[in-house]
Amino acid sequence: MRLPARACGAVLVLLGLVAASATGAAAADDPIREQGLWYVNQAGLADIHQRTTGAGVTVAVIDSPINPGISDLVGTDLTVHEPSYCAATEGGAALPASTTDPSAEHGTAMAAILVGTGAGVGGEPGTLGVAPGVHLLHYAAVTGIDDGDGGRTTTCYPPAGVDGSPIRQAVDDGATIISMSITEADMDWSDIAYAHQHGAIVVAAAPHDGGVGLRAPASGNGVVAVESIGPDGRLAAGNNTDPRLTVTAPGEYFATTVPDDGWSVYHYTSGSSNATAYTAGALALVWSAYPTATANQLIQTLVRNTDGEEHELRHDDAWGYGAVNVRQMLEHDPTTYPDENPLLTDDPDVRPSLAEIDGAATAAPTSAATSDPAAEPAAGGTGGPSTPLLVGGAVALLLVAGVVVAVLAARRRAAAPPPAT
């Protein structure tokens, strides 16, 4: 994924808002309001965090810019790589990776799903992270600037003076899990091979467009490709299907903050983007509990402990290997599984090829993450007045041909496995 080395338009960022406001006492009394934390409650994360928080694991998010100053990110172990990998014009200066403008909406949400403190704003419940103890690295590699017509421009020009790939940089900076809720039309598959060679797990979102087929990086050989389910344990509307889909995971009805009123408003968000961040966090929790496990063994335990039971490999195009289950994974030592990535295939049409992955790895990573001190979370949070949680719809935070997914959209009527826990 060499964003600075390709033409504009290879990455599409479509962020849509469809929400109705619930104000005053009605918001506080609305039972739907509590659904924003269903993924925490169903999984029993409060109890799980007594055992493991992801401490000792470094996770990278490659996404849009981020606002590290929101209350849910203040005090977390977050490093923002500056600058971004995008410019507003060909050969122009790189845009900042941290910002408070609307382009930071998606990346901020993904970071909060991973490490959010749940501090909230004005009495509203915030976003609670799946793995709040991880060291989180953030790389801005796509844009989402307001285009003036109610949408976001998707142009990402190669900036002057910024070389390399965010995937390789994340690996070099020590990330062992890379979460990518984006798709890339001009994928450099050697970057995925580089991650495999250095023992990093790449987790990527399936294109949440209702179609059939994965796209890069989710289509990459050995990559964990993720789709979304809701609190009822059913597949989300708009889910993709593919013979190489890896897992489904909680992704619907998450409460995340948006730029409205100075980042003091929470909306419901839905889609495979959320499910990808959730899955990356789940892997981090298990890796922290079993630090001697390899990346391959973590993937093994992910796919062998879905739906609330340990099982041999079994696959469905719509569900992948099943619904992610954190508690179930923690009950089984991943080091007892084969040290082999079960997602690798010798299909000559799948990249990177086994030969590319098995090729001699380059020198071990040595560089350190680059951080702009101004991008670090400041103490005290953002403050602000009491704000309503918007409950009438959803923000479909979906990248590349993403579609706005209404919270009350009809679900596919496939037989549902037990809710992900």
Q: What is the CATH number of the domain that holds 193?
A: 3.40.50.200
Q: What is the pLDDT of residue 36?
A: 86
pLDDT digits (tens, 9 = 90+) for 99-127: 999 899 999 999 999 999 999 887 778 89
Residue 56 lies in a domain: yes
Per the CB < 8 A criterion, the answer to whether 123 and 65 are in contact is no
Q: What is the pLDDT of residue 396?
A: 35
Best CA proximity match to 174, nearest among 188, 193, 195: 195
Measured CA to CA, the distance from residue 128 to residue 255 in angstroms comes to 9
Residue 414 lies in a domain: no
pLDDT: which is higher, 108 or 89: 108
User: In this structure, what token pair is assigned to residue 316?
Assistant: 């469905």
Q: What is the pLDDT of residue 332?
A: 97
For residue 228, pLDDT over 60 is answered with: yes
For residue 368, pLDDT over 50 is answered with: no
C-beta atoms surrounding 29 within 10 Å: 9
Residue 409 lies in a domain: no
H or E, element range at 119: none
pLDDT digits (tens, 9 = 90+) for 230-270: 999 999 998 989 999 999 999 999 999 989 888 988 888 99
Residue 242 lies in a domain: yes
pLDDT > 70: percent of the chain: 74
Q: What is the pLDDT of residue 392?
A: 32
pLDDT > 90: percent of the chain: 61
pLDDT: which is higher, 324 or 404: 324
Q: What is the pLDDT of residue 122?
A: 77
Best CA proximity match to 49, nearest among 134, 131, 135, 136: 131
pLDDT band at 192 (very low <50, low <70, confident <90, very high): very high
H or E, element range at 262: helix 260-263
Measured CA to CA, the distance from residue 83 to residue 77 in angstroms comes to 19
**Highest mean pLDDT pick, 224-233, 361-370, 395-404:** 224-233
For residue 325, pLDDT over 60 is answered with: yes
Which residue has 């597949």 as its token pair? 235
Residue 413 lies in a domain: no
Per the CB < 8 A criterion, the answer to whether 400 and 274 are in contact is no
Measured CA to CA, the distance from residue 276 to residue 324 in angstroms comes to 11
Measured CA to CA, the distance from residue 187 to residue 220 in angstroms comes to 9
Which of 33-42, 144-153, 310-319, 405-414 is the least confident region? 405-414
Best CA proximity match to 179, nearest among 201, 207, 156: 201
Per the CB < 8 A criterion, the answer to whether 251 and 274 are in contact is yes
DSSP 8-state class, residue 352: S
Instruction: Summarize the confidence of residues 81-89 as an average pLDDT.
Output: 92
Residue 416 lies in a domain: no
Instruction: Summarize the confidence of residues 130-141 as an average pLDDT.
Output: 97
Measured CA to CA, the distance from residue 387 to residue 264 in angstroms comes to 6
pLDDT band at 153 (very low <50, low <70, confident <90, very high): low
Which of 30-34, 205-209, 253-257 is the least confident region? 30-34
DSSP string, 44-87: THHHHHHH---TT-EEEEEES-B-TTSTTTTTS-EEEBSS-S-B
Residue 410 lies in a domain: no
- Count of domains in the chain? 1
Residue 131 lies in a domain: yes
* Contacts (Cβ under 8 Å, ≥6 apart) of 403: 14, 16, 208, 209, 210, 238, 396
Rg (CA), the chain: 19
Whole-Å CA distances, 279 to 123, 326, 379: 28, 9, 29
Which residue has 């990330």 as its token pair? 175
Q: What is the pLDDT of residue 149?
A: 57
Domain that residue 229 falls in: 3-399
Measured CA to CA, the distance from residue 258 to residue 16 in angstroms comes to 11
The SS3 assignment for 224 reads strand
Which residue has 């580089």 as its token pair? 194
Measured CA to CA, the distance from residue 95 to residue 98 in angstroms comes to 9
User: In this structure, what token pair is assigned to residue 404?
Assistant: 């706005």
b/e 190-210 (16+ beta carbons within 10 angstroms → b): bbbbbbbbbebbbbbbbbbbe
User: In this structure, what token pair is assigned to residue 104?
Assistant: 């930071």
Q: What is the pLDDT of residue 30?
A: 42
Q: What is the pLDDT of residue 352?
A: 97
H or E, element range at 275: helix 272-289
pLDDT: which is higher, 89 or 367: 89
Number of continuous H segments (helices) and E segments (strands) in the chain: 11, 11
Which residue has 């495999």 as its token pair? 196
Instruction: Summarize the confidence of residues 9-29 as an average pLDDT.
Output: 30
Is the dihedral angle over the CA atoms 167, 168, 173, 177 positive or is it negative?
positive
Best CA proximity match to 156, nearest among 199, 100, 215, 95: 95
Measured CA to CA, the distance from residue 255 to residue 270 in angstroms comes to 9
Best CA proximity match to 106, nearest among 323, 269, 317: 269
First to last CA, the chain: 32
